[in-house]
Amino acid sequence: MGHTGTLDPFATGVLICCINQATRLARFFLHGGKRYEAVMRLGSTTDTQDATGRIVATAPLPDLDESSLASVFRGLEGPQWQHPPVFAALKHQGTPLYKLARRGKPVQKPPRQVTISTLRILQVALPDVRFEVACSAGTYVRTLCHDIGQTLGCGGHLAELRRTESSGFGLDQAVTLDRLGELDPWQVLIPMAEALKGMPSVTADDQMIAHMEQGRPLKPEWFKERDPMGSPADTLMIVDRANTLRALIEWSPEDGTYVYGCVFK
């Protein structure tokens, strides 16, 4: 089993786990978009940028209303550069940043480009602001809270965090560990072909599947009908008549044809 991305220790919500052969699909979920519901606490800054850290600064709140806050939130939507926090699971020379920070040797990684698709206020009960954010993979919501606090001049940190969506999977499809222990796992597992939402597919007959299981070269004529405009999909699913995923094939511009990504049995 392998998980596709991490959650901060105090956070809750969706975490995609790949089991057995599905671990080979992890790369399709690692970089998918995320959606969170969070609570930002204004007026105090912590060394970890969240509620688990030590308060390093406090400041009185300015005269705020929901309209002025919404203006700040709108200004943070779109592509931007974000500095990862020094307390993070990212590694520096093989050591997680949070371990270095706890030793008093914090390392600031270079900024990374992220995208905030939407940033919406849900409730204002100062000093707390509950909000929803849809963002690209690699975005730190606690850094977002820190940056909003700096913009407002009073500081801020992340007080609560719940991931409500990851790569298209929402809380309605999630199962808690306690609940999972009460169920037959096969009742909640999502088939691989269904998990790859939106990926184009080709339904193969028995002869084509046997051909692929033997690792024989793929025949270009199998896929021409899917590509009348000369723009092949980067990746295609090959499924059988029962919609079971049997292979992933990838377009190779160098060869001008599809080549094997992985084959499942």
- Helix, strand, coil % in the chain, rounded to nearest 5: 25, 35, 40
Which one of 8, 128, 184, 205 is the catalytic residue? 8
As a whole number of angstroms, the distance between CA 157 and CA 44 comes to: 7
User: Is 8 tagged catalytic?
Assistant: yes
| Tokens standing for residue 148 | 């909003």
Q: Note the Cα 108 to chain centre separation in Å.
A: 22
Question: Most distant CA pair in the chain: distance in Å?
Answer: 72
| Strand 128-135 to 112-125 pairing | antiparallel
User: Degrees (nearest 5) of the Cα angle 148, 153, 156?
Assistant: 45
Question: Omega before 79 cis (within 30°)?
Answer: no
Q: Which one-letter DSSP state was computed for residue 46?
A: E
Q: In what order do the strands lie in the sheet with 235-239?
A: 201-203, 235-239, 245-252, 257-263
Alpha helices, H only, 27-78: 27-30, 66-75
Residues with Cβ within 8 Å of residue 212, at least 6 apart in sequence? 204, 218, 238, 246, 247, 260, 263
User: Degrees (nearest 5) of the Cα angle 133, 135, 137?
Assistant: 140
Which residues carry out catalysis?
8
